[in-house]
Amino acid sequence: MNRMLWGRTGLVWFFVCAGLAVGRADVATQLRTLAGAPARVVWCRQVAGEGGDPFATNAWYALMALDTEEGAERVLVPGPASVRKPLISPDGRVVVFTDHLRGVARAVDFAGGRPRDLGPGHAADVWVDPMDGRLWVYAIRGPLRTEAMMGSPVVRFPIDQPDRVEVVWSKTEVSTDNFQVTPDGTRAVGLCPWPQASWMELPEGGLKRLGRGCWTSRAPDDSRLAWAFDGAHRSFIVWNVQENLRWTVPANTAPGMDGAEVYHPRWGWPAHLLAVTGPYMAGSGASRIAFGGPRVEVYVGRFSDDRRAIVGWVQVTHNDVADYYPDVWAASAPPTERPAAPAPPSLASPLAAGRSVVEARLRAMTRTPAASEIHPYKQALVAHEYEVLRTVEGPALEGRILVLHWGVRDRRPVPFRRRLGETATFAVEPYDAHPELEGERVVMDMDPAGRPLYLAVEL
- pLDDT tens column, 289-321: 777 788 899 999 999 999 999 999 999 999 999
pLDDT at 143: 85
Owning domain of residue 220: 3-330
Task: Say whether both 316 and 370 belong to one domain.
Answer: no
Task: Say whether both 379 and 321 belong to one domain.
Answer: no
pLDDT in tens, 331-383: 975 444 433 333 433 333 333 458 999 999 999 999 888 888 887 788 889 99
Q: Please indicate, yes or no, if residue 115 is contained in any of the structural domains.
A: yes
Which residue in 294, 276, 307, 287 sits closest to 380, CA to CA?
287
Task: Say whether both 252 and 314 belong to one domain.
Answer: yes
pLDDT at 449: 73
286, 315, 330 — which closes off a domain? 330
Report the C-alpha gap between 1 and 279 in whole angstroms: 29
Q: Please indicate, yes or no, if residue 241 is contained in any of the structural domains.
A: yes
pLDDT at 264: 96
Of 6-20, 269-283, 412-426, the least confident:
6-20
Q: Please indicate, yes or no, if residue 346 is contained in any of the structural domains.
A: no
For residue 12, give the H/E element and its range. helix 9-20
Could you tell me the pLDDT band of residue 11, with boundaries at 50, 70 and 90?
very low
Task: Say whether both 196 and 314 belong to one domain.
Answer: yes
For residue 83, the domain's CATH number is: 2.120.10.30
For 102-122, what is the mean pLDDT? 97
Task: Say whether both 187 and 308 belong to one domain.
Answer: yes
| CB-count exposure of residue 354 (10 Å: 0-12, 13-18, 19+) | middle
For 204-220, what is the mean pLDDT? 92
Q: Please indicate, yes or no, if residue 345 is contained in any of the structural domains.
A: no
Task: Say whether both 262 and 297 belong to one domain.
Answer: yes
For 64-69, what is the mean pLDDT? 97
Task: Say whether both 64 and 23 belong to one domain.
Answer: yes
295, 330, 365 — which closes off a domain? 330
**pLDDT mean across residues, the chain:** 87
Report the C-alpha gap between 375 and 358 in whole angstroms: 33
Say which amino acid occupies 456. Answer: A
Note if the bond before 344 is cis, omega within 30 degrees. Answer: no
Task: Say whether both 244 and 164 belong to one domain.
Answer: yes
For 384-411, what is the mean pLDDT? 93
pTM for the model: 0.76
For 58-69, what is the mean pLDDT? 96
Task: Say whether both 185 and 232 belong to one domain.
Answer: yes
For 416-425, what is the mean pLDDT? 93
Task: Say whether both 211 and 313 belong to one domain.
Answer: yes
Q: Please indicate, yes or no, if residue 81 is contained in any of the structural domains.
A: yes
User: Is the pLDDT at 24 greater than 90, yes or no?
Assistant: no
Task: Say whether both 218 and 361 belong to one domain.
Answer: no
Of 38-42, 117-121, 170-174, 413-417, the least confident:
413-417
Domain count, the chain: 2
Q: Please indicate, yes or no, if residue 344 is contained in any of the structural domains.
A: no
Which residue in 185, 189, 266 sits closest to 226, CA to CA?
189
Task: Say whether both 73 and 218 belong to one domain.
Answer: yes
Q: Please indicate, yes or no, if residue 30 is contained in any of the structural domains.
A: yes
Q: Please indicate, yes or no, if residue 350 is contained in any of the structural domains.
A: no
